[in-house]
Each structure stands twice: as C-alpha cells, then as structure tokens.
Copies of this chain bind each other. A is one copy, B any other.
Amino acid sequence: MKDFFTVTPLEKVFAYIPAFPKTQPETIPLEIATGRVLARDIVSSEDIPGFARSTMDGYAVCAKSTFGATEGNPAYLTLCGAIPMGEAPTAPVRLGHATRISTGGMLPVGADCVVMLEYASEIDETTLEISKSVAPGTHVIFRGEDVSKGQAMLERGRKLRPQEIGLLAALGISSVSVYQKPVVGIISTGNEIVPIDSVPGPAQVRDVNSYSISSQIMEAGGRSRLFGIIRDDFAALLCTCKKALEQCDMVILSGGSSVGTRDLTIDVLNAFTDAEILVHGIPVSPGKPTILARVGSKAVWGLPGHITSAMVVFHRVVRPFVEHACGMTGGMAGGINFRGFLIPAKLSRNIASAQGRIDFVRVRLTETGDGLMAEPVLGKSGLIHTMVVADGLIEIDMNTEGLLEGTFVAVIPL
C-alpha cells in the first residue's frame, strides 16, 4: 500500500533526530582528534599549572619588598641568583631579596609576584633597584589557576577545536574517547546514470550526486561509502539497500525526482519488515520529494536527483542527523554553534517566493562600500553551475510571499 504523500514540516522532521542512535565511542590518538566529538566528559585529574609560574621575564620577589617603591624613591633588594627554567628553585626568597626569573619559570617559596625587567635594574651583582610598587600576584599564574584538580573541563558531545586539543594535551590525555565517524552509504539510482569516468551516451548523465553528497557527508563529520549506480529495479535496489544497511549507520538513496523513482524507493523501503516511512515530502523548494524512513534503528533517506535539490536538502535537513550520529550536542563552545551563524547582507533585487513552502534561493555575495550585497543566482535548480557560483543560501519562510530589494537577509554559507 502506498503511503499518502503529505509533506512533513521541518520541525517535525527534526523531531525525529533523537530517535536515532549516536555511533559507538572509540579511542584515538590526540594528534588526529581535531574535529571529532568527545564521547565522555573530561574532568581534570590535576592542577594546571602544577606550580606558580612567572608570565614575564623579571625578578621573583615578595610583593611587600616593593611596597612604596617609586622612580624617585626606589627599593633596593638583595639579588640572589637566577631560577633555571624547568628546575625547581632550591632556595626561598626572603623579604628584601629577589631572584632572576624567566617567563614560565617556577616561583620560589616566599615570592608572590614578579617585577618586570623595565622596573628593575641591577646596580651590581647583588643589588637590585626597583622603581615600582608591585601587588601580590602580579605576572604570576598560580598553581591550579588555569585548571584545578577535579574541575569539569569539557563535556561529552563537544567538537574538538585546536584549543580543546591543547587543553587535552595539558591534561596529559594523549588518546581520547570520541564517537566513531558514522558511515553513510550512498546509492545512486536511475537508468540514465553512468559512472563519472565513462562518456555518457545519448540520454545518459554522469553520477554527480554520489560525489557531491559524499563530500557533504565528509564535511558534516561522517565517512561516506559509495554503493554505485543501481538501475530502477526493485530487486536490485532492495539487494543493495540491504547490503548498505548492514555496512552503514545511515543510507542515502540519491534518485531521480520522477514519481516512478520515488514510488520505487518507497516500495523498496516498505519491503523491509522493520521499516517505517517517517517523511514523504517536505515543504521545501528545491527539495520537496525528500523521503526519510527508519529501517531498524537506521535512517534511510531518499533525496531528489537534481544536484541542487539534493545539496540543499542535505545541507539543511540531513546534516543535523549526521551530526547527531557523530555525537554532537549543540554548540561548539559556550552553547553557540558557528555554523548556525548567518551572514548579514542586503538583497540586490526583489525575489518572489511561493507561500506555503520554504524557498532556498542561491545567492552570490559581493562586497560593497557598506557591507555585503546578496545577489540571487539565476538558473533552474537542476543546474550545477548555479551552486558553484553561489556563496550561500537565503531561506524564505513559508509565510513570506517574497523579499524586496534592499531587504537585509541572513545568508547561510555554502
């Protein structure tokens, strides 16, 4: 029995995200963990730094020894040697004494601040003149000031940027538990599709979507696996679907946009006893004939055949599912996800839009005297070159009939 073709609002589509599992964790070397997603919380097992460190070249002193010192009325301290880098000081610094210290050096017992070189001059081998009063703590990072033992530092679900990699290194974590990259299978369907290294005959076209979607999967943090081109044939498609579902965490069927192909996809999905068609059509242009099914615990997508439609749907609809599978929970840091940030620009001309659907308009951005201008890219949605010249998309919501020239729009980077 055919499912009724009613479109599913995007918020309902996204509500299915938590119903799909994240991948299993794996432990990998820190060197290759950039961009991966933490699979467990990181709590510091030590104080960082483990000792009071100088942040300047200068002299370690007890602040009291400098109190009242000015250029006109300097303080004179007894200079007692220097602290070698990487070694613990052997003697404490007493009141009225000072020890040379370099940036990163360990403060001796008794010292609570560092006087910068420019406020100190060595009068002779044992006498230091100080021309400024220095407060306790000046130019010092105290033990545990950066990270204290037992402190929760990073939460599960955070994508690792260079600074998180640095923090993990500082904590001595040389291998890290991250979610596996989800494997997303791509099946290209259609009798007219030929491999990219062949010369298309009349009525044939090369398999573009396997490559563009694969590239999008990698950008989203997944691994893609190509299952080749399958003719519009129930048995062949079912067989390849089964294989892909065995080997992958998610499967994308990139098919034609014809009713026949869509029906075939639905028939194949319904042939799985544990399949449920969740979405059959979305109110999005380009991209309406999008299918989402759950087979067992896995998501299977039917994406439209036009490259632009497929790319737009992947970018705005499929990608959050891939990121969920990657283990991501929201923001990059501080709850903010930069990919969610939009680029403000001024529309270069009127755009018409149909009500009742979300229109994604490709735009090219140009710098003007005052800010960016978004210029809609003309051309039918099946044309690849419109995506190549586009810098981003404008999303025009269901209740907007169009946008006027000069309107400020928020551009989604492509």
Contacts and interface: CB of A to CB of B under 8 A. Distances in A.
A365 to B, nearest CB: 5
A190 B344 contact: no
Given A57-B259, A166-B384, A333-B414, 9 more contacts: A34-B215, A49-B205, A53-B205, A87-B203, A103-B258, A117-B259, A146-B383, A166-B387, A173-B196
B163 A414 contact: yes
Contacts of A48: 384
Contact of A166 (B164, B197, B307): B307
A112 to B, nearest CB: 15
A389 interface: yes
Contacts of A146: 382-385
A381 B88 CA distance: 23
Interface string A132-153: 0000000001000111000001
A66 interface: no
A166 B208 contact: yes
Contact of A209 (B166, B168, B258, B390): B166
Nearest to A194: B86
Interface stretch (A5-13, A235-243, A335-343, A394-402): A335-343
A106 interface: yes
A161 B414 contact: yes
Contact of A162 (B212, B336, B372): B212
A302 interface: no
B191 A385 contact: no
Interface string A69-85: 00000000000000011
A211 interface: yes
Given A104-B257, A191-B86, A164 B388 contact: yes
Interface of A: 30-31, 34-35, 48-51, 53, 55, 57, 84-89, 102-106, 117, 141, 145-147, 153-154, 160-170, 172-174, 190-193, 196-216, 218-219, 226, 232, 256-261, 305-307, 311, 332-336, 338, 341, 343-344, 364-367, 372, 380-385, 387-391, 413-414
Interface centre among A88, A167, A199 (most CB of B within 10 A): A167
A335 B203 CA distance: 35
A277 to B, nearest CB: 20
A85 B232 contact: yes
Contacts of A170: 196, 205-206, 208, 307, 384
A333 B387 CA distance: 10
A197 B174 contact: yes
Contacts of A106: 202-203
A198 to B, nearest CB: 8
A166 B311 contact: yes
B103 A387 contact: no
Contacts of A168: 211
B103 A257 contact: yes
Given A366-B335, A388-B167, A216 B162 contact: yes
6 contacts: A34-B219, A104-B192, A104-B205, A146-B385, A333-B389, A336-B365
A290 to B, nearest CB: 14
A169 B226 CA distance: 14
Given A165-B211, A170-B208, A414-B163, A50 B202 contact: yes
Nearest to A106: B203
A196 B89 CA distance: 23
Contact of A30 (B84, B164, B211, B390): B211
A367 B336 contact: yes
